[in-house]
Amino acid sequence: MTAQRTSPSRRLPRVNVPTSSAHMMAISPAMRPLHERHWPQRLGETISAFAGKRILVIGDMIADDYIIGAATRMSREAPVPVISQRERFTVPGGAMNPAVNARTLGAEVHVMGIIGADETGRRLRQRLSELGIHHDLLIEEPNRPTSTKMRVMANNSQGAMQHVARIDTIDTTPPEAATLQRMVDGLATLVPNMDGIVFSDYDNGLMVLPIIEETLLIAKRHGCISVADAHSGMTRYRGVTAITPNQGEAEAESGISIRDHGSLQRAGARLLENVNAQGVLITRGSEGMS
């Protein structure tokens, strides 16, 4: 993790994660560098610290809808399998995913975003209630469908489950004026009482500059940590405490192709400068996090 510009009152925890678990397993614990021998304990302490923390997650709310069935035969109409549906269910996705994760770790979680006034939105709200996640600012817009990613999963003749198709219904229109005002009013009430804020931006239209700027302004005023996970346009979050791009996003935003430790450091430094953040965590797939 590359970091700078730390604040005495809100210093980010530093967790060093090995980039290859297989490599680490092949080395005797006594031969590992000191920081690598102690990272599991420090990671555990960091995770435990979530308990009781107050977290606000703002972002694009998406329903992950699953259709589970069996591929019975090939269609006569087209070269596609005919799926006999056995089960269908909806789980919170998009910005609700980090909200559920934080709640699972024991945090008190609030979500802010937009859903449609439809059955999918009602199912999501019910699920959040069951999980104990506050959703007073999960705002319904009657002219907007709840954004949905429907995945069709089916067993093949050998019994293995396969991902057959994904159907997205994503509304990227900006929020209505009344919705924006309600969100701004909610930020003024919620943010001063939060320990941390997570921006979960899927480029679906919600994270407009007035919301980002107002949130960061109040967060700084009250010493609240803020983290942005944005698929693009990270400079809109200038002044955020930390950003968490994946490697592709980091390369696109920094203009640096990450091929080794040196290019990784340069990309991280450029992102820190561009966003004026204290820290950047780059997720790198099989290479872990840096």
Per-residue pLDDT of the chain (290 residues; tens, 9 = 90+): 444 444 433 443 333 333 433 333 333 444 444 445 556 777 788 888 889 999 999 999 999 999 999 998 999 999 999 999 999 999 999 999 999 999 999 999 999 999 999 999 999 999 999 999 999 999 999 999 999 999 999 987 677 889 999 999 999 999 999 999 999 999 999 999 999 999 999 999 999 999 999 999 999 999 999 999 999 899 999 999 999 998 999 999 999 999 998 999 999 999 999 999 999 999 888 888 88
DSSP letter at 30? Answer: G
**Strand 134-141 to strand 108-116: parallel, antiparallel, or no bridges (unpaired)?**
parallel
> What's the rounded Cα separation, in Å, for the pair 86 and 161?
13
Which ranges constitute the DSSP H helices of 65-208?
96-104, 119-131, 177-190
* C-alpha to C-alpha distances, 109 to 8, 124, 222, nearest whole angstrom: 25, 15, 18
d(C-alpha 34, C-alpha 206), whole Å: 44
**Burial class, 91, CB count within 10 angstroms (exposed 0-12 / middle 13-18 / buried 19+):** middle
Tokens, residue 255: 């203009």
Domains and CATH numbers, the chain: 52-63+92-146+171-231 (3.40.1190.20)
Element (H, E) at 172: none
